[in-house]
Amino acid sequence: MAVDFWSVIGSNAVTSRADIEVAVAQVEQRLRALDPSDLVSFQDQLERNLDALDLSALASIPVELAGGLVLEQTADHFLYARCACLLAGRDEVRGVLESSERFGDFVAPRLQSAEALLYLARTEHQRRTGEPMG
């Protein structure tokens, strides 16, 4: 049976670093219940969902820093902002795809720790099998 990506992700508040930490911990806990093949499936779905958000309209949304400084997103910043968007859940992703301005909520520097989502399934797979995920 294929893993339901959005059931593992859930729907999370992602307005602060603390929110990201809680969301990541919840996803990590759900991944522990999956078998290794489902971890691979989750990782594949994660990559497909990140790719679906890899849009120039989203990448062009600027980052506003404290003090009013405005910068373009770097490639890494954009990737981590997409992770934060995914952590917010399916409905939020759909909303961003319908209205790119909504992605501005995820480019905040305080949400960059959403990067951790990239490594959860791979780390759990390695922990359980002793082998890196292929």
Question: How many structural domains comprise the chain?
Answer: 1
Q: Please name which of 36, 51, 38 lies closest in space to residue 8, comparing C-alpha atoms.
A: 38
**Hey, what amino acid is at 98?**
E
Residue 57 lies in a domain: yes
Residue 6 lies in a domain: no
pLDDT on residue 84: 98
Range of the structural domain that residue 85 is part of:
13-129
Neighbours of 106 (CB within 10 A): 26
pLDDT exceeds 70 at position 1 = no
What the block records as the tokens of 92 is: 């939020």
pLDDT on residue 60: 97
Say if pTM beats, i.e. exceeds, 0.85. yes
Residue 4 lies in a domain: no
Residue 3 lies in a domain: no
The dihedrals phi and psi of 71, each to the nearest 5 degrees, come to -130, 160
Cβ distance 15 to 113 under 8 Å? no
Report the C-alpha gap between 8 and 42 in whole angstroms. Answer: 8
